[in-house]
Chains A and B, each alone.
Chain A
Amino acid sequence: MTAPLLAAIELRKRFGGVPASDGVSLTVSPGEIHALIGPNGAGKTTLIAQLAGALRPDSGRIELAGRDITALGPSGRVRLGLARSYQVTTLFGALGVLDNLALAVQARSGSSMSFWRPAAREKALYEQAAAIVARIGLAGRESVAAAHLAHGEQRTLEVGLALATRPRLLLLDEPMAGMGPEESARMLALIQQLREAEPALSVLLIEHDLDAVFRLADRISVLVSGRVLATGTPAEIRADAQVRKAYLGEESA
């Protein structure tokens, strides 16, 4: 078995008296789509926050391609190829779609400690941004301010921003949150296209839409009360008695 791209080892995080992460361990292999499911309050977003570097675990380790990144901040992790999209839309609202993406491209294209030359003249930045716009299906909306986009378009841009950093691993926190069936189907197709275009890209995906999860994922981990209850292929998870009892049984679609 190939070495995992991302490994979370015994992560623990408490808020006051409540353990949000209670010894979470999981791995993501190169090129796999790994879904994380679990009831509300299971600690999924807390886990993503720790993986992305926004939250420091109380104990435990996080390794990216074998390298310990536990002490690294979010921007450092992005530079190593770990990018995140947020459950609550977090965009540069006043800026247009193209400008949003251009910023992400700028972040990975050399130093931005440049104080004199106008950035607008950098054609390469904008060409790459335009390519991403097309790829995520927002062509024609380049100059619309992010705050004025439809909800589904905003969620798409969320994913697009993470993509624009050329990651090895995408952490997607409920990309389909608040989307209707049509938009969800488009997001599903987008994620599938991503994997086809880049077989080496890994994705760790939190999603409540179980239908989509079982269609997309290579492996699924079930998080309950801050712990990984089970990890396996969709078929294995579906068949797992513990999972059925703890989660699938009470799941309301």
Chain B
Amino acid sequence: MARLRPGAVVLGLVVAAALAFPFVMRAEGDAYYLSFASRILIYALAATSLNLVLGYGGMISFGHAAFVGTGAYVSSILLAEGVASAWIGWPAAIAASALAALAIGAVSLRTRGVYFIMITLAFAQMTYFLVNSMKAYGGDEGLTLPARARVGGGIDLDDAQTFYYVALAALAAALVALHRLAHSRFGRVIRAIRENETRAEAIGFPVYRYKLVCFVIAGAAAGLAGALLASHGKYVNPSVLHWTQSGSLMVMVIIGGVGSLWGGALGATALLGLEDLVANHRVAWVAALLPNYPQHAGLAVGLVLLAVVLFAPQGIAGLLARRPR
């Protein structure tokens, strides 16, 4: 009988739990958590796409929300204009985000270090302001959508359970793709560039080109997350492009484990879970200190993040990896 590695067993359990989740929720009659879980899956996808650029590629891009937002807005605008099919809307969102990543990356990647961080930040703000001024599509009030995108073939996205599985499939596809990418020739080059960019160039890899391709791939995946996000809430507004959203994505990646396959997923679960915990589950002794503490969830997030950066920089994945096998 073949011996099962502990990692494979854990993976199997996680997959099984993820697949069974909606049925458990249906049994409990709880619609809120099913929707919440879908939201976690979407953010897990977005955070995973950032992890590619940040964790594997070593590019500290503070503007990733721009690509999530581009995907969200392109798919929303199409839906608002009557193009209901996801088969058009979602590829369009992915293409638009990839293009945005190409444009922003082409300029930003010519810079290094601190400049790069600030430029990506500034460009993301630029897209925020641009979208904010699009009065035709809601401006700063946002855009409400008539319905979720249509997939056809019996798959009805308006059904919460179906949507959950579609989001799960998207995340699963992204994780598989990331895994293969990391071990491919391209992945090796990207990781070598992160390790020592000068050396990578000096053995013959045109570094700028590889970084740009990596950036675009990540942008495209972020675009898909954006499209899913827009359909999920049937609403989109410019705040999805705000740089603090980029910050949230980075927080997810660092908490989950930068550069590890599950970092994005773990981080999204942790951050959104923490926010939900603070907002919805009253803890008596904290309430005694601070009566309306749920409104100050940001404080908890900030403190947790500080703790992680100072004491556990490898995030949850790093903590898990340190446990003796």
Contacts and interface: CB of A to CB of B under 8 A. Distances in A.
Chains A and B share a contact (CB less than 8 Å): yes
Interface of A: 52, 54, 73-76, 78-79, 83-84, 86, 90-95, 103-104, 106-108, 111-120, 122, 161-162, 164-165
Nearest to B188: A119
A223 B185 CA distance: 41
Given A114-B185, A116-B180, A118-B184, 7 more contacts: A84-B202, A86-B198, A90-B199, A103-B192, A112-B188, A112-B205, A119-B184
Contact of B195 (A78, A93, A114): A93
B195 A73 contact: no
B181 A78 contact: no
B203 A165 contact: yes
Interface string B83-117: 00000000000000000000000000000000000
A113 B183 contact: no
Nearest to A103: B192
B184 A92 contact: no
A115 B184 contact: yes
A161 B206 contact: no
A75 B196 contact: no
Contacts of B187: 115, 119
Interface of B: 180-181, 183-189, 192, 195-196, 198-207, 210, 213
User: What are the 4 closest A-B residue pairs judged by CB atoms, nearest first?
Assistant: A78-B204, A107-B204, A112-B185, A104-B203
A162 B202 CA distance: 8
A161 B189 CA distance: 15
A92 B183 contact: no
A120 B184 CA distance: 8
A83 B202 CA distance: 7
Contacts of A93: 195-196
B205 A75 contact: yes
Nearest to B189: A112
B201 A114 contact: no
Contacts of B185: 106, 111-114, 117, 119, 122
Nearest to A112: B185
Q: Decide if the interface of chain B is mainly helix, strand, loop or mixed.
A: helix
B180 A78 contact: no
B238 to A, nearest CB: 33
Contact of A115 (B180, B196, B203): B180
B271 to A, nearest CB: 28
Given A90-B198, A119-B188, A161 B180 contact: no
B196 A120 contact: no
Nearest to B199: A90
A160 B46 CA distance: 40
A186 B186 CA distance: 35
B184 A76 contact: no
Contact of B204 (A54, A86, A104, A117): A104
Contacts of A92: 192, 195-196, 199
Nearest to A75: B206
Nearest to A105: B203
B142 to A, nearest CB: 36
A114 B202 contact: no
B201 A161 contact: no
Contacts of B188: 103, 106, 112, 119
Contacts of B200: 103
Contacts of A117: 184-185
Nearest to A161: B203
Contacts of A115: 180-181, 184, 186-187
A112 B184 CA distance: 8
Given A92-B195, A93-B196, A106-B185, A113 B203 contact: no
A144 B273 CA distance: 41
B42 to A, nearest CB: 23
18 contacts: A52-B202, A54-B201, A76-B206, A90-B199, A90-B202, A104-B203, A106-B185, A107-B204, A112-B186, A113-B213, A114-B186, A115-B186, A115-B187, A119-B184, A122-B185, A161-B202, A161-B203, A165-B203
